[in-house]
Amino acid sequence: MTLEIVRVPVLSDNYSWLVREAQTGAVMVVDPGEAAPVLAAAQARGWTIGAVWLTHWHPDHVGGAAGVKAATGARIIGPEAERAKIVALEDGVGEGDTVELGAQSARVMAVPGHTAGHIAFHFDGAGAIFTGDTLFSMGCGRLFEGDVGQMFANMQRFATLDDATSVYCGHEYTQSNGRFALSVDPDNAALVARMRDVDALRAAGEATVPTTIGAERATNPFLRAADADELARLRAAKDAF
């Protein structure tokens, strides 16, 4: 495997992602909401974190960045557009930039909406994307700083990725998102089947992410929305669900 990716639960329902590039052994962490669990996960594997990659400024995603840096000397990389809100940010990046992890590189995608400067990191060669709080398993992020048009454009971009692309998002929201999805798309056989699996996983205390672009294409009402107006209706309904 080109990238070894470890899910690290932090806070109440967040996931940080510890990533090691196999060829060089380079390690980074995406969105460390807390430092201690991330550092412990790395130490347990004998890994040394060399970088912190941030998708957006919210405290549950950046709260552990300074602590990871203090313990490891890791370089903190994140959205230049949110530099004023991320005190620990060192290297700012934006749309079209490339960030290296050993022998692998990720393309930065600007995906505003949840926050104004939100970004995603897409490892095309490794078939992985880190979407923060923009694309969730069967959902999308709330629109705190952006608009529906931006979020629809994001969903359209994600939908162009290969079906096999693994999606690493920031929260364990799948079960609640799936219940909403069933309320608006009850005759979707793929969704019904997926929710059976999700409910079984959660009953066993297991995680439901990563997901894949293919699974989202089949079951995520926000990714399947035909236009921005439909997404707006869905987002309003989900906010009140």
What positions carry a catalytic annotation?
56, 58, 60-61, 114, 133, 171
* CA torsion angle 160 219 106 13 (round to 10): 160
- Distance, CA of 103 to CA of 50 (rounded, Å): 14
Residue with tokens 């059976």: 196
Does the annotation flag 171 for ligand binding? yes
Residue count of the chain: 241
Cα–Cα nearest to 169, from 228, 112, 213: 213
Residue 185 labeled ligand binder = no
- Tell me the CB-side half-sphere exposure of residue 86, using CA atoms within 13 A: 34
Annotation-wise, does 122 bind a ligand?
A: no
Q: How far apart are the first and last CA of the chain?
A: 40
Phi, psi (degrees; rounded to nearest 5) at 15: -125, 130
CB 126 within 8 A of CB 3: yes
3-state secondary structure of 155: helix
Other CB atoms within 10 Å distance of the CB of residue 97: 17
Is 133 flagged in the annotation as binding?
yes
Residue positions forming the annotated binding site:
56, 58, 60-61, 114, 133, 171
Residue positions forming the annotated binding site for Zn(2+):
56, 58, 60-61, 114, 133, 171
